[in-house]
Copies of this chain bind each other. A is one copy, B any other.
Amino acid sequence: MTNFGGFAGEHLIQFIERIERLEEEKAGIAEDIKEVYAEAKSNGFDIKIMREVIKLRKLEAADRQEQETLIDLYMQALGTLGTDK
């Protein structure tokens, strides 16, 4: 990874710029989210409660996900045990 002036350098620049573009997009979306909160607030909703609701829903989703992961692991374990391979 020497020779940064040559091909590797080109390559690096490309990676960096891809990331920078993605980060811009991400920041843009974060902006959007803030705007939605602001709009909701101006419609009389409580931001704190909204955040809490969102957090809880996320947690519940994570819960389900983890349950499935766990089941998969059990199945693997049992499968391994079962096939006597």
Contacts and interface: CB of A to CB of B under 8 A. Distances in A.
Nearest to A82: B2
A69 B59 CA distance: 13
Nearest to A45: B12
Interface in A31-48: 32-33, 36-37, 39-40, 43-46, 48
Interface residues of A, number: 48
A57 B56 CA distance: 15
A76 to B, nearest CB: 9
Interface string A54-85: 11110110110011011001100110010000
Interface string A12-29: 100110111011011001
Contacts of A74: 49
Among A11, A19, A46, A48, residue most surrounded by chain B Cβ atoms (within 10 Å): A19
